[in-house]
Amino acid sequence: MTRTPISKELYDVISPSSYRYILNQPDICEKKRPYLILIIPVTLKDTEARTAIRNTWGHESLMSRVNILKLFVIGQPAQSNPILQQHLEKESHEYGDIVQMDFVDTYQNLTIKTMMIMNWIATYCQSARYGMKIDADSFLNVPHLVNYLHAQEESSGEDYITGSVIRDGHPKRDRHNKWFLSVDLYPETSFPPYVSGAAYVFSTDLAQKISFASRFVRPIPLEDVYVGLCLRVLGVNPVYSTRFLRLRNLFEVRKLKYQRCTFAKRITVNGFKPQQLLYIWHDFQKSHFTC
Ligand SMILES: *[C@@H]1O[C@H](CO)[C@@H](O)[C@H](O)[C@H]1NC(C)=O
């Protein structure tokens, strides 16, 4: 496949040099030397979700053997909200876990956010072994993830990305579909393999490579497909994380009703409100002894 850089005009939309940091944590990885950095895209108003994550799977002292860091990545609301912004700045000061940039934070712009995440890791956190992009409404089984990554370490050197891989994706051409993609924006009739955006893990060397590849891939508003298109440029195949001949998807994207011992065998499950997350987490602590 020939690689032609996209126009400057198009690249500017996703280029990190188009945006400035409002809040940043440039030294956090140097200081804490994490094995894994969790990056959670949220918006300004998601205070409750941030609190729930800090009190559940994002809690810093969850694992004694490995350092895990988490960061929330936020843009700017379309309508400025000085009061919430002030709260956010306080929160950032108190917890030191917020990065904010000045792109407009909308659903359509999630691809920009993901590319800012890749650039942030490439710039400030190459020392971490793995990065994970995970949505705020996820449940994350941290010990299971860490064990899984430790077990993969031999085979997953560079260019490693794993999650729930979608191999037969294709663009939705119906204008009313949430994931509508016009022929102008994406003329191909199928997508290359990509990992579902709900949660995926990658070796941090990929962050810079994906950032680089984005010079050749026209922005589309589906951030996970976009990463898949960048992976195709790089010739990197995403790895499906499953057990038992694919029967058990470790990065669960379907809604699963909470059951302690079912969840103990997954790495992530998607689709929870902050209150549900707190409730599940409390019960889940017993899984260590009972499952
Ligand atoms: C996406 O972000 C850019 C840069 O901040 C902004 O100009 C544009 O209006 C945003 N698009 C949408 C659909 O929100």
Q: Tell me the average pLDDT of the chain.
A: 94
Read off the pLDDT of each residue in 281-290 and give the average, rounded to a whole number: 90
Do residues 204 and 230 touch, judged by C-beta distance below 8 A?
Answer: no
Do residues 140 and 36 touch, judged by C-beta distance below 8 A?
Answer: no
Give pLDDT tens digits for 81-137: 999 999 999 999 999 999 999 999 999 999 999 999 999 999 999 999 999 999 999
pLDDT at position 289: 84
Tell me which residue has its CA closest to atom 10 in ligand 1: 104
CATH class of 8-290: alpha beta
- Given a cut of 60, whether residue 245 has pLDDT beyond it is no
Which residues are CB-neighbours of 191 under 8 A, at least 6 positions away? 166, 169, 170, 171, 225, 228, 229
- Segments in 44-166 forming alpha helices (H): 47-54, 82-95, 110-124, 142-152
pLDDT at position 36: 96
Tell me which residue has its CA closest to atom 9 in ligand 1: 104
Residue % of the chain over a pLDDT of 70: 98
Tell me which residue has its CA closest to atom 13 in ligand 1: 108
pLDDT at position 247: 63
Which residues approach ligand 1 with their CB closer than 6 A?
A: 103-104, 106, 108-109, 112
Residue extents of the structural domains in the chain: 8-290
pLDDT at position 240: 84
Q: Which of 9, 14, 74, 103 to mutate to test the pocket of ligand 1 (most atoms within 8 A of CB)?
A: 103
The whole-angstrom separation of Cα 11 and Cα 95 is: 33
pLDDT at position 17: 96
Tell me which residue has its CA closest to atom 2 in ligand 1: 104
Read off the pLDDT of each residue in 178-189 and give the average, rounded to a whole number: 95
71 CA distance to ligand 1 middle (Å): 22
233 CA distance to ligand 1 middle (Å): 25
Read off the pLDDT of each residue in 256-271 and give the average, rounded to a whole number: 93
The whole-angstrom separation of Cα 284 and Cα 278 is: 10
229 CA distance to ligand 1 middle (Å): 21
pLDDT at position 243: 67
Tell me which residue has its CA closest to atom 6 in ligand 1: 104
Atom of ligand 1 nearest to the CA of 105: 14
The whole-angstrom separation of Cα 184 and Cα 27 is: 42
79 CA distance to ligand 1 middle (Å): 12
**Which is nearest to 122 in space by CA: 16, 42, 200?**
16
Q: Which of 19, 102, 109, 110 to mutate to test the pocket of ligand 1 (most atoms within 8 A of CB)?
A: 109
Exposed e or buried b per residue across 30-52, where buried means at least 16 C-beta atoms within 10 angstroms of its C-beta: eebebbbbbbbbbbbebeebbeb
Per-residue pLDDT band for 152 (boundaries 50, 70, 90) equals confident
Give pLDDT tens digits for 230-242: 999 999 999 988 7
pLDDT at position 175: 93
Give pLDDT tens digits for 31-72: 999 999 999 999 999 999 999 999 999 998 777 789 999 999
